[in-house]
Amino acid sequence: MIPKKSRKSTYRLLLVITLLLGVLTLSGCTTAAVPATSSDPVGIGLSAVARPLENVGIAIAIKNNMTKFVSDVKVQIVSIDGNPGIAPFALWQTPDASVALTEPLLPGKTAQARLLLQQKSAAPIKSYAVDVSVSYRDGDGNAVTKVIPNAGIIRVGSTNFLSSGIRWIIEMLYKLIHNYAVAIILLTLALKLISEPLTRMQFKSTVDMQKLQPQLAKLKAKYPNKEDATKLNQETMQLYKDNNVNVFSGCLPLLVQWPVFLALFTAINNYSPFNNAAFLWAPALSMTSSALPLATRFIMPVLVGVTTYIQSVTSFIPGQDRSQTAMLTYFMPILMGYWAYGFSIALGLYWSLFSLFSAIQQYYVIKRLTKGMALPEPVVAKRTTKKK
C-alpha cells in the first residue's frame, strides 16, 4: 500500500500531467467546436481552424428545423470565398467535398459530420467564407436542393516560429534522404543529442539530492513534530547550500524542453506533406491510428505505451523512494497509449523514438553519475510519546 501522504503527492503529479496533456490537446490536436446552424429548413453550420500546410478538419452540423423527418441528406461545399470549388484547399481521402447522413434526421435533431481537406500548398493566412449546397428528401418524399451562402468559416492562422523552424528542418532532411519517417528519426535523435547537457543537469540535481538523503533523514528524525517544521526547513535549506545543491536546477531543463516539445507537437501532428508518406503498416504518416484497419490500429499506441514505460523505469535513481511515483510509472504509459490512438502516426513515431532515446540516455547518464555512490540507509524517526 502507498502511504496516504505519498498518495496525495502522486495525485498532484497526476493532475499536473493531465493539465499538460490538456495543453497539448488545445495546442493543435482538437477539432473545431460544433458550429451554429442556419435557420433554413435543413440548417447547416460549419467551422474549421488550421495553419498553413495543415490538414483541415471541417466540423459540419446539420439540423432539421422542420416538423417531419428528412432523409438522404447530403452537404457539399460549392465555393470558398466566392470562388467555385474548394481552392486553396484540396481533397484527401474523399472523392468530393461532401458528407452524407446514412440515417433519417428527426425533427429538431442535429447531426454532426466531419470533412477532411488538405493543403498541397500553404493557404494564405485569413478567414474563408464557405458556401454549401444541401440536398435531401423531405417527409413527403420530395427531393430538395438548396444553396446556403456563408454557411461557415475556415480560419487559417499563423504558425509559431518554433514549429516553422522544425518543419523547415524536416523538409531539409527530406530533400537529403527522401523519406519523412527517417527525417523524423534523425530530428528526434538530433534533439536528444542537443538536450544531453540539460538531461545531465537534471539528473545530476536528482542524484545530488539523493546523496543527501541520509542527512535529510536524520534531520527529519531530529525534528519529528509539526511545531519544528520551520527549524527543519531552515536546516534542510542550509544542508543544500553547504553541499552546493540547487533544488530548482532539476526543473530548469524541463522548462527549457517543454516549448520545444509543444512546437514539435503542432509541427508534425497534422502536417499535410505527410499525407503521401507511407510508413510500414500506415498508408500515411498523417493518418491517426484510429483511422487504420483493426489489424494495425493498435500497433502505434502499444509502442508509445511500452516506450513510455521503459523511459519511466530507466529514470529511477538507485536508492530513490519510488512510492510517490509508483502510480505514474504505470499511469503515464497507459495514458500516452490512449492519447496515441488519436495522434497521427508521425507524432506517435516521434514520441516512441523520443522515449526510447531518452531511456538510453538516462541509463548511461545515471550510471555515470551514481558510479561508486553508496545506497542511503533508511533512518527511523524516533517516536515521541506525549506526557500524561
Q: Are 50 and 154 in contact (CB under 8 A)?
A: yes
**Ramachandran class of 81: left when φ > 0, alpha when ψ lies in -120 to 50, beta otherwise:** left
Query: Containing H/E element for 163?
Result: helix 161-177
Return the pLDDT at 4.
Answer: 44
Q: What is the pLDDT of residues 355-372, one digit of tens each?
A: 888 888 877 777 776 666
In a domain, 222, yes or no: yes
Same domain flag for 272 and 294? yes
Same domain flag for 91 and 231? no
In a domain, 294, yes or no: yes
- Among 307-311, 321-325, 367-371, top mean pLDDT goes to 307-311
How far, CA to CA in Å, does 6 sit from each of 9, 10, 324, 328?
Answer: 5, 6, 5, 12
Same domain flag for 16 and 98? no
Quick check: pTM over 0.85? no
Distance CA 305, CA 330 (A): 9
Same domain flag for 174 and 109? no
In a domain, 218, yes or no: yes
Last residue of a domain, one of 158, 193, 210: 158
* Phi, psi (deg, nearest 5) at residue 160: -65, 160
SS3 of residue 135 by DSSP? strand
Share of the chain above pLDDT 70, in %: 73
What confidence tier does 330 reach under pLDDT thresholds 50, 70, 90?
A: confident
Distance CA 171, CA 256 (A): 24
How far, CA to CA in Å, does 184 sit from each of 51, 65, 180, 238, 338?
Answer: 20, 48, 6, 46, 22
Last residue of a domain, one of 126, 158, 190: 158
Task: Report the DSSP beta bridge partners of residue 45.
Answer: 61
Distance CA 271, CA 54 (A): 5
Return the pLDDT at 249.
Answer: 55
- The whole-number average pLDDT for the span 166-187 is 92
* pLDDT higher than threshold 70 for residue 244: no
Same domain flag for 271 and 315? yes
What confidence tier does 320 reach under pLDDT thresholds 50, 70, 90?
A: low
- Strands 42-50 and 143-156 come out as parallel
The single-letter DSSP state of residue 274 is G
Q: Mean pLDDT lowest for which of 119-128, 136-145, 241-250, 282-291?
A: 241-250
By C-alpha distance, which of 165, 119, 123 is closest to 274?
119
Q: What is the 3-state composition of the chain as percent helix, strand, coil, each rounded to the nearest 5?
A: 45, 20, 35
* Domain range for 53: 42-158
Same domain flag for 290 and 144? no
The single-letter DSSP state of residue 372 is T
Structural domain count of the chain: 2
Same domain flag for 188 and 206? yes
Q: Are 52 and 119 in contact (CB under 8 A)?
A: yes
Distance CA 4, CA 24 (A): 30
3-state SS, one letter per residue, for 136-148: EECCCCCEEEEEE
Same domain flag for 243 and 318? yes
Q: Which residue has the cell 534542510?
A: 236
**Three cell numbers, residue 193:** 543529442
